[in-house]
Each structure stands twice: as C-alpha cells, then as structure tokens.
A = this chain, B = another copy of it.
Amino acid sequence: MTEITNNRFEHLLDLHHLKKTGPRLKVLAMMSAKNTATSQPDLEGLMEDVDRVTLYRILNVFEEKGIIHKIFDLNGTANYAICTSNCQEHHHHDEHLHFNCTVCNKVYCLNDLSLPAFNLPPGFKAEGFTLYASGTCPQCNKK
C-alpha cells in the first residue's frame, strides 16, 4: 500500500466526519487490494486482530455514508465493495452489473456497464436498480 493510497483513505474518512482509526483504514486497505467484492466471512478472516462486532459496525457506517456498498451473492452472503463514485449518504448509485461466478463464487462489480432502459408496470416507483448476472468468470473459464 502506497503512501498516497493511505492518504486517500484518510481523506475519505475525514470527508465523512469519521475518525481515522486502525480498523477502519485496514478495512479500506483490504477491500481496495482486490478487484472483486469481499465477503463478510473473508473480511472477518482478514481482520483477525479486530473484533467481529467492530467489523460489523465499520461496515454499517461505511455503507450508510456511501463509502462502500453491499451485495448479496447467490448464497445470500453479504459482500462489500468500495463505491467508485456517485454514492452519497443514504443514497447509493449502485446501478451497475454485479457478476457472481458460480465456480469461485467471486462477485465482480462491473461499473462500466450501465443498465439498459426498461419500464415498470403502473403504480411502481423505482428508486434504484441492480442487475445481477451469474455464470463463470474469466479466471475460471481459463482453467
């Protein structure tokens, strides 16, 4: 992790009026070190020295503040990824594709793919959309 990356996270916490603590910076470091979302169980394993409850609380505030977003995989397990942009407190812009590999179970946030337009039946008012795809990821297809 570079100096600059670390400063970026500290700045991020400042922005949201959150104290710059070890556990919080570690969560951000762990999540940003991967190109896929991180599951709650994985994260718990990576944060051995941090209390389980603390981790849950960190994930909750980060989500509330729009720093990370939560994705449930095919098994209903919570996965977390750092928001790329546009997210703000209590209003996520999570309108991209989430790809869940059925082999390795990884969750990819494909931010570059915006959702195609479509209509809802009368009476429904939509606030947010997420498209989920399941299948096999590039890594698993190679093998």
Contact = CB atoms under 8 A, between A and B. Distances in A.
| Copies of this protein, total | 2
Interface in A105-143: 108, 110, 112-113, 115-138, 141
Contacts of A138: 122-124
Contacts of A136: 124-125, 127
B137 A128 contact: no
Interface residues of A, number: 35
A106 to B, nearest CB: 11
A78 interface: yes
Given A97-B120, A126-B135, A129-B134, 11 more contacts: A99-B120, A102-B127, A115-B118, A116-B118, A120-B133, A124-B138, A125-B135, A125-B136, A127-B136, A128-B133, A130-B132
A56 interface: no
8 contacts: A113-B118, A113-B119, A113-B120, A115-B118, A120-B133, A125-B136, A129-B133, A130-B132
Given A132-B129, A132-B132, A134-B126, A112 B116 contact: no
